[in-house]
Amino acid sequence: MKLNRLHIHSVRNLQEIILHLHPQFNVFTGHNGSGKTSVLEAIHLLGVGRSFRARQIHSIITYQQARLACFGEIMDLAGSKFSVGIEKFRQGEVICKVRGEICTRMSEFATVLPLQLITPEAFKVLHAGSEERRKLLDWGVFHVEPRFGQTCQRYLRLLKQRNAALKQAVPSQLAAWDHDLAQVGEQLAQYRQQYLLELMPFLLAMQEKLLPSCLPIQTQYVAGWDTHLSLADALAKALSQDRRYGYTSVGPHRADILMTLEGFPVGQVLSRGQQKLWITALYLAQAEHLAACHGKRCLYLLDDLTSELDVANQQRLLQLLDAQGHQVFLTGVTAKDWQEVIPPERRKMFHVEQGTLCSLEDAIPA
């Protein structure tokens, strides 16, 4: 997938911008607060349906505007072009369209334009809570297993209902929720385990490219309960504890990914720079696996990469992304940050200042 054209309306300080984009690298430069990250945010809205910077839509829509909108022209691998768009209103209404037709489910909309976001926060996943590692894993499962999204939503609904029954101490309701929760939870765990098994060859190959001197890192899915037991038995075993605390303590919502090097957590034995390269390898491996499964290429949004990787590793990463055929969007403070590592014929550069994109290559204020 390639994003040929992007129209941004009322996203933070970007009031009305139309961009014609490069199929390889698009670089947005400017001082902090200029609006360059807001361009990535607009693309993220177009691909995922939500911001990666804020939960409340009010903080994203330009001041005194009723709505924001992002529209794009997409070209698939066959060269066919189609439109995609999203509008979000202050009152909460959301309108998503693909090929001019309204999408009623956000999960359906989010499959159209797969994208990977790498920000300085992404490199903290090794030391964050297990929820962040589940999100990383679930991105891949969502894009390769069509049933995963609905299974995940159903599990979370059942989990909410069981937790409510635990708080209300209603034994008759618990029995009903436990049966369904166990069944759906086992399926959810199976999707994740199968995905990680299929991902491993891609991950090891990517580690060899980004961390060639490092021994193979072991990556293991931890289900969230003692897998010597069925989930139904694990729920029954934990019932008295769950009643005491008022929430469900076992299940795939407690899952994690264990990453070790010779038996030690990678966050303890790899240097800070090596940790960043390992996380980057995970993102790239997921994109390669998606391409192998469904023939889809990702868009990459790389925010402030120059502050996280040295020039040699920036160049290595960008060469890999280019070789894989992904379209890349990057931010930096100055154009010089990227002129040294991306050949002129493979890039388009924009300068952002106070919400206006100055046309280093091609930016058209509407």
Known binder of ligand: residue 30? yes
Residue 8 half-sphere exposure toward CB, CA atoms < 13 A: 29
35 in a labelled binding site: yes
Residue 32 annotated as binding? yes
The maximal CA–CA distance of the chain, rounded, in angstroms, is 68
User: Is position 251 annotated in a ligand binding site?
Assistant: no
Angle of CA points 28, 278, 46, to nearest 5°? 40
Cα distances from 258 to residues 79, 117, 264, 340, in angstroms, run 40, 22, 10, 37
The answer to whether 140 is annotated as binding is no
Q: Is 36 assigned a ligand-binding role in the annotation? A: yes
Binding-site residue positions: 30-37
- What residues form the annotated binding site for ATP? 30-37
